[in-house]
Amino acid sequence: MYDRNKDFATIIDQIDSHVHTGDTLFNPTNLERLRRSIASWERAVKSQDQINEQMEQDHKETGTEPNPIYYYAVTLDNDKTVYFESERTFKHEHAVLMQCRSLELIDVFATVKSFKKISIEEYWEGIF
């Protein structure tokens, strides 16, 4: 079953790989389709950036804080590390284990060796 959030990184990697193999760049039809998609994506990102700026300005004016996002690195019993983001904080390994399972980051037999909050930069480095 397709899950927009879970499958996003895989889909982006597949598009990136396809573009760089030349299959897209040397095919006029695919190249035009790529141009149209890129333009559409740029408009969507620009629009979201404007929304985010407005929300940030609203928070400053009202003195409210936006909901923070926390980033986690989880080391499993097989020394594999998985990463996730959450609006809640975690203090117990069992809660982290259940979160990883619900996000389908690990299989049912995996156990958590350790976990820690990390910066957004560490998160991005870990998932790429």
User: 6-47 pLDDT, tens per residue?
Assistant: 688 888 888 888 888 888 888 999 999 999 999 999 999 999
> How many structural domains compose the chain?
2
User: 57-109 pLDDT, tens per residue?
Assistant: 988 888 887 788 999 999 999 999 999 999 999 999 999 999 999 888 888 88
Residue 15: count other Cβ atoms within 10 Å of its Cβ: 13
Q: Which domain holds residue 25?
A: 4-62
54 with 78, same domain: the answer is no
**What is the per-residue pLDDT for 60?**
87
Per-residue CA distances from 57 to 45, 54, 64, 97, 125 (Å): 18, 5, 10, 37, 29
Edge-to-edge strand list for the sheet holding 112-118: 81-86, 70-76, 112-118
**What is the per-residue pLDDT for 93?**
92
91 with 47, same domain: the answer is no
75 with 101, same domain: the answer is yes
**What is the per-residue pLDDT for 5?**
67
Per-residue CA distances from 20 to 15, 24, 31 (Å): 9, 8, 12
90 with 115, same domain: the answer is yes
38 with 11, same domain: the answer is yes
49 with 16, same domain: the answer is yes
108 with 84, same domain: the answer is yes
